[in-house]
Amino acid sequence: MPLHDPAIRDIIARKDRRCYGMGLGIIILDDVYPGFPGDVRNASAYPFPIQYEVAEGVDIKGLVRGEEKEAFLEPVLKAARKLERMGCRAIAAECGYFAWFQEQIAEAVDIPVFASSLLQVPLAQTLIGHKKTVGILVAEGDRLRDRHLTSVGVALDSNYVVRGAKDDGKCPEFDNLWTKDLRPDLPTANYDMAEADIVAVARNFADAHPNMGAMVLECTGFQPFGRAIQRAIDMPVFSWSTLLDYAYSIAVHRDFYGHV
């Protein structure tokens, strides 16, 4: 195995890029809470470089529950442009509700934008066929608007169903992290309890729709439990993890070392 990529001989600056060898730039909410490994907020589990930038003033309460989302556009675009200048090869975000801004971010930068795990819904629909349904498991079902879906290419009259994992207090460990009026001063969660909560919700969601052929996890905090969910429902599961792996693979295509 060579000590460096033999294709790298002469190097040339990329236009207006400050850093090199960068991976994915992640727009982060201006909120203080921890994430288990696998959560987009926790960089430790990813096999490629992660660069974070906070969207100043954009918190969970405003992005997910607020009615004046356009007020957040400028800080979101500012964060995206900074990540691009830094040298990131693609931009993602840490909350599926950033789907609201997918088209605007993509227009504002010259690198690929993966603003929401919901981008995978049309792909999942295509893969399973129109006779089956894609389950979209979001954090708060009553906060999902048509624009969140149409901005990422989901047809409103197509084969999907939505369930809010936190609706009716079914995932208290996630409330302890994300819900402003319920979480403690130092947001905290127990892994085993959080896993049991989200797996139970996902299983009940799948059981309620026998024709479900795939599930898309909207929330970045769900993906640490993606494999456990898949064991419980036995179907393809799309998460932020599958999206980010894909995003990096197209922004920085892998080389192949092998033999014939």
Concatenating the DSSP letter of every residue in 107-165 gives HH-SS-EE--GGGGHHHHHHHH-TTSEEEEEES-GGG--HHHHHTTT--TTSSEEEEET
pLDDT of 146 reads 95
For the chain, which residues make up each domain, given as ranges? 24-116+244-251, 118-239
pLDDT of 3 reads 67
pLDDT in tens, 70-106: 999 999 999 999 999 999 999 999 999 999 999 999 9
Distance (Å, whole) CA 16 – CA 26: 19
pLDDT in tens, 27-64: 999 999 999 999 999 999 999 999 999 999 999 999 99
Q: Name residues of the chain where pLDDT drops below 50.
A: none
Strand partners, 55: 29
**Architecture in CATH of 118-239:** 3-Layer(aba) Sandwich (3.40)
Distance (Å, whole) CA 127 – CA 48: 27
Tell me if 24-116+244-251 shares its fold with 118-239. yes
pLDDT of 13 reads 84
E strand spans, 3-42: 24-29
CATH number of 24-116+244-251: 3.40.50.1860
State the Rg of the chain over Cα: 19
**Secondary structure (3-state) at 26:** strand
Nearest CA among 143, 151, 142 for reference residue 118 = 151
